[in-house]
Amino acid sequence: MERLTALAEFFADNGQAEFLRFWANAPLRNPEFWRTFWESLWTRDAQMSFLSYTFWVFLAICAAAYYLCPRIIKPVWLLACSYAFYLYDRHGTALVFILITATAVTWLCGLGMGLSQNRPLRLCLLWLAVLGCAGTLIYFKYSRFFAGLVGLEFTAQLPAVLGLSYFIFQSLGYVIDVYQGVVPAERNPLYYALYVSFFPCIVSGPIERADHLLPQLRAPRGFSYRRVTGGAFRMLWGLFKKLVIAGNLDVFTRAVFTDMPAYGGGVLALAALAFSYQLYMDFSGYCDLALGAGQVLGYDLLENFDRPFAGRSYTQLWDRWHISLTGWFRDYLFTPLSFVNRGLSGVPGKLQGWFNIFIIFPISGLWHGASMGYVVWGAFNGLFMVVGKATAKARRKLAKKNPLYRVKFLKAVIQCSIVYLLFTFCIVFFAASFFGGDAADGWYLLAHLTAAGGPALAELPALLDISTLTLYTMAGGIVLVEVFEFFGRPHEVIRKLWFPVRWVLYYALLIAILLTANFGASGFVYGQF
């Protein structure tokens, strides 16, 4: 009964509890049942979360009609579905003009650059697109933050624009690629509009590239049972990571980060370590859902994670974490900076290069949110990256003399642990801002890691009302995810398993979700960025 209550509360967040109550009493042949069903799908009290049954019904209808309609109609249908997905959000109807305007401006600027060989004109069009997109992003996300920095009071209540950071970055990347000649200008506004608004990745990424997604949109694939079932499994895999692992870790980390004085240093340290892994499971789980949905529709989206905590250096970690965003900053910020201020040699040249590396991370922190906690998080990440680059040769020499590094497995464990601890040091500032605090809360946690008091670790499950079954399932799930993804991508690895083993895994994941998932943690961390 408790699980049914949790399910009802979960769907109530999307305005669909009335439909659940009606479901139990109305036969399928009753017209009233179907009327209530369709009304529940379009309640629009919240955005169409990938965790809601509304999205799964929406995706099923979208995919079925997509494979049945003629090839020439497929992009039109997908564009209509993408805008329907966007308009489902309660702010979508009022703010869809921002998406349309960004799409129109960047398409026209790209088209103008593609048709003209006049360098000053092309540069003017580039800056028109860049300033227009950047101005929109700054106004809606950072007006209050920058006003506060200069001591001004910003009283306007600006709504959160769904997917703003993602479709702005995707549009800007396209315009810059056209200017640099990386891709030709897209002359068909239909394909370009679909590229900007493609619903599996508009909310939280991955941030697609024009040379990767646009060719697929121009040449849609036919139905493939193997590809569709692989995508469906990857979506199930993402649900498991989000609801069973990240969702239950959220119960613990949220309790600690929202009331840090109530806990001792051991619990604070464990919460920081747990949030690092929670963030990874939450965002990579979302990406599994997004990539799985794209695969169901016949499209391969960019991979966004590659087991980042298996990285043995800080550089390796960031090469594997949020790959599409890291690549975006590398190609459109780091590379231009390196080109503009190149030329110095010796120590000044090294300092210049290290500055180019460092500055990306505070900007990335600001992209995550208008809070000093995110900026401090980015600054420490940038500092660790620079220190890692500057000491790389010295550390390699010392590693040869370290007796512990003679055992390859032990060396890997030590290096990965150090990287994880450095990442966790930074993440306390991210977590502090995410849970409603600021950078000062991150400093508080670090300053009280040795503090006594508060409940003991053994008392936490009972205090937080986490069952033994949930703890064991979550722990087993972490092992399952790490072992499974060690061998490759989920939708590829599953095909290598013996048929009965595959189906046992399918049902085991479903049962684990139904029995132990935290349906209250219904939002995705990166959905707010």
320-374 per-position pLDDT tens digit:
999 998 899 888 887 777 666 666 666 777 777 788 888 888 888 888 777 888 9
Residue 237 has pLDDT above 80, yes or no: yes
Cβ atoms of 303 and 259 closer than 8 Å: no
Domains of the chain by residue range:
1-33, 72-220, 226-305+435-528
pLDDT at 152: 67
265-287 per-position pLDDT tens digit:
889 999 999 999 999 999 999 99
Residue 21 has pLDDT above 70, yes or no: no
User: Amino acid letter at 373?
Assistant: G
Q: Which residue would you say has higher pLDDT here, 5 or 251?
A: 251
Question: Lowest mean pLDDT: which of 59-68, 172-181, 356-365, 478-487?
Answer: 356-365
Confidence of residue 205 (pLDDT cuts 50, 70, 90): confident
- Kindly state the average pLDDT of the residues 127-138: 91
Tell me the pLDDT of the chain averaged across its residues: 84
Residue of 91, 322, 368, 448 with catalytic role: 368
pLDDT at 199: 93
206-215 per-position pLDDT tens digit:
999 999 999 9
Residue 216 has pLDDT above 80, yes or no: yes
Percent of the chain predicted with pLDDT > 90: 46
The terminus-to-terminus CA distance of the chain in angstroms comes to 35
Percent of the chain predicted with pLDDT > 70: 84
Residue 19 has pLDDT above 50, yes or no: no
Taking the C-alpha atoms of residue 370 and residue 529, their distance in angstroms, rounded to an integer, is: 10
Answer yes or no: 491 catalytic: no
408-446 per-position pLDDT tens digit:
889 899 999 999 999 999 999 999 988 888 888 899 999
Confidence of residue 231 (pLDDT cuts 50, 70, 90): very high
Q: Which residue would you say has higher pLDDT here, 23 or 495?
A: 495
Alpha-helix residue ranges (DSSP H) falling in 344-402: 346-368, 372-390, 392-401
What backbone phi and psi angles, to 5 degrees, belong to 42? Answer: -115, 35
- Kindly state the average pLDDT of the residues 26-46: 52
- Kindly state the average pLDDT of the residues 40-57: 70
pLDDT at 65: 95
pLDDT at 3: 52
pLDDT at 339: 66
Helices (runs of H) and strands (runs of E) counted in the chain: 26, 0
Residue 16 has pLDDT above 50, yes or no: no
- Kindly state the average pLDDT of the residues 220-227: 90
Residue 70: is the preceding peptide bond cis (ω within 30°)? no
Q: Which candidate, 275, 247, 242, 249, places its Cα nearest to that of 437? A: 275
The set of residues, in sequence order, having a beta carbon less than 8 Å from that of 432 and lying 6+ positions away, is: 257, 373, 438, 439, 440, 441, 442, 445
pLDDT at 41: 47
Cβ atoms of 144 and 160 closer than 8 Å: no
Burial of 19 (0-12, 13-18, 19+ CB in 10 A): buried
**How many other C-beta atoms lie within 10 A of the C-beta of residue 278?**
24
pLDDT at 165: 86
